[in-house]
Structure 1
Amino acid sequence: MGMAATTPALDLPLFPLSSVLFPGGQLQLRIFEPRYLDLVRECARTGGSFGVCMILEGREAGLPAVPAAVGTLATITDFHSREDGLLGIVADGGRRFRVTRTRVRSDGLVRGDVSPWVDEELIPVPPEFGLLPTILERLAEQMAPSWQKTDRNRYDDASWVGFRLSELLPLDPNECQHMLELDDPLQRLAELRDILPRFQRP
């Protein structure tokens, strides 16, 4: 089932990162490059979002990096001055999007035309994946993510469980990107279940 974009393309500043932001996830960033300080100012002024895309080529700082074609909308929820004098921000992950074209501004900030995807439908976690919510609870206890005290019902939402496991399991960034790009919550759970033996202690 393909995710057809139902909304017109948005023009967004893109923030290429070496990690993946999932819908419902949270991002903490230190901002020091002028182009990203401008991005934060623009979002603060307009209440707008920016796009987070995993880096395919390049690095987070320096020359403009090549972003992956599927990313996640991020909305800034908190600003703070860090002890090192840099600006810290917290942003929440929203819908996924596909980048249809990018351009690099003179200051190195990448902007993109993006088509948001519709949210995944709510599907209960099927019995054959019943172990996954249990593993997620254990990981949440150990790692105490921001959503740790979430509503118990979330653990029966296949999409939410898949995204949270993708976030907390030690997947490599390309695997995370693959989990982000899947558009079937049950396929994501099946692939996570198949990967799990890798992380189990003998």
Structure 2
Amino acid sequence: MPPCRMADAAASLPLFPLHGVLVPGAALDLRIFERRYLDMVGECGRNGSGFGVCLILEGNEAGAPATPVAFGTEAVIEDFGNTPEGLLSLRVRGRRRFHVLRTRVRDTGLVVADIEWRADAGASSRLRPEHALLAELLRRILLQVDAGHVDPDPALFDDAAWTGWRLAELLPLSMPQRQALLQLDDPHARLQFLLDGIAADPN
């Protein structure tokens, strides 16, 4: 299957490399203290734009610029505040996936990437019968973790993309597993990846 790209293929995005994977729709809390990222947040606020979250391939979250993997997720800022230590805190949510084409490092140490947006393959992402077990698993997980919250629209559980991303967010996956899911363009392939992993787990 050929790569699936969005129409607005080329863009530039500042990166926030982490020892973690953000998937579309998932929320993430961040603490910001380095000047390069404080400047990045200010720039995003002025432009009404997001920034990219990528898993670190080599290096650390603080200090010298880390080497990110080639696939990540755009993070949009939903809320901000201050920690008890006086640091900037952010609540961000994953939106679009992207593929890094090339990177450059600003004088401040901020990594900026030229990227292409990635879209799910196929015209329909309606859940297939063989993946119905995963939708039921997600319902049970949400009953535990979202007790007291507004229930999702029942129709969402028939959406292969939504179901796959929520399971990728909530299941106890390793970072390489979550990254592998992020790099798949086919929502049905993501669900099959999860189903195969559950079937292979003796526990």
TM-score, normalised to structure 2, is: 0.91
Counterpart residue number, 1:24: 25
Q: Do residues 190 (structure 1) and 180 (structure 2) align?
A: no
For 1:15, the aligned partner's letter is F
Equivalent pairs, count: 200
Task: Give the Cα–Cα distance (whole angstroms) in 1 for the partners of residues 43 and 201 of structure 2.
Answer: 41
The partner residue of 1:161 within 157, 160, 163 is 163
Task: Give the Cα–Cα distance (whole angstroms) in 2 for the partners of residues 101 and 156 of structure 1.
Answer: 37
Call closer, same or farther: CA 1:149–1:39 in 2, change over 3 Å. Answer: farther
Q: Which runs of 5+ in 1 are unaligned?
A: none
Quick check: 1:97–1:115 contact (8 Å CA) kept in 2? Answer: yes
Counterpart residue number, 1:45: 46
The alignment's C-alpha RMSD in Å is 1.9
Per-residue deviation, 1:185: 0.9
Quick check: 2:135–2:163 contact (8 Å CA) kept in 1? Answer: yes
Counterpart residue number, 1:90: 91
Call closer, same or farther: CA 1:148–1:108 in 2, change over 3 Å. Answer: farther
Quick check: 1:53–1:68 contact (8 Å CA) kept in 2? Answer: yes
| Secondary structure in structure 1 of the residue aligned to 2:81 | strand
Task: Give the Cα–Cα distance (whole angstroms) in 2 for the partners of residues 15 and 126 of structure 1.
Answer: 35
Greater shift in the superposed pair: 112-121 or 48-57: 112-121
Quick check: 1:122–1:159 contact (8 Å CA) kept in 2? Answer: no
Task: Give the Cα–Cα distance (whole angstroms) in 2 for the partners of residues 31 and 158 of structure 1.
Answer: 34
Quick check: 2:5–2:116 contact (8 Å CA) kept in 1? Answer: no
Per-residue deviation, 1:119: 4.3
Give the 5 Å matches for 1:71-90.
Answer: 71-90=72-91
Give the 5 Å matches for 1:127-166.
Answer: 127-144=129-146, 149-166=151-168
Task: Give the Cα–Cα distance (whole angstroms) in 2 for the partners of residues 62 and 171 of structure 1.
Answer: 27
Call closer, same or farther: CA 1:111–1:18 in 2, change over 3 Å. Answer: same
Call closer, same or farther: CA 1:191–1:98 in 2, change over 3 Å. Answer: same
Taking only the aligned residue pairs, the percentage that are identical comes to 48
| Secondary structure in structure 2 of the residue aligned to 1:69 | strand
Per-residue deviation, 1:198: 5.7
Task: Give the Cα–Cα distance (whole angstroms) in 1 for the partners of residues 185 and 137 of structure 2.
Answer: 22
Quick check: 2:29–2:89 contact (8 Å CA) kept in 1? Answer: yes
Q: Do residues 14 (structure 1) and 15 (structure 2) align?
A: yes
Q: Deviations over 1:60-101 (max 9, x none)?
A: 111111111111111111111122321111112111111111
Task: Give the Cα–Cα distance (whole angstroms) in 2 for the partners of residues 168 and 198 of structure 1.
Answer: 19
Per-residue deviation, 1:141: 2.5
| Secondary structure in structure 2 of the residue aligned to 1:71 | strand
Task: Give the Cα–Cα distance (whole angstroms) in 2 for the partners of residues 119 and 194 of structure 1.
Answer: 20
Q: Deviations over 1:22-43 (max 9, x none)?
A: 1111121111111111111111
TM-score, normalised to structure 1, is: 0.91
For 2:72, the aligned partner's letter is G
The partner residue of 1:175 within 171, 174, 177 is 177
Give the 5 Å matches for 1:99-110.
Answer: 99-110=100-111
For 2:30, the aligned partner's letter is L
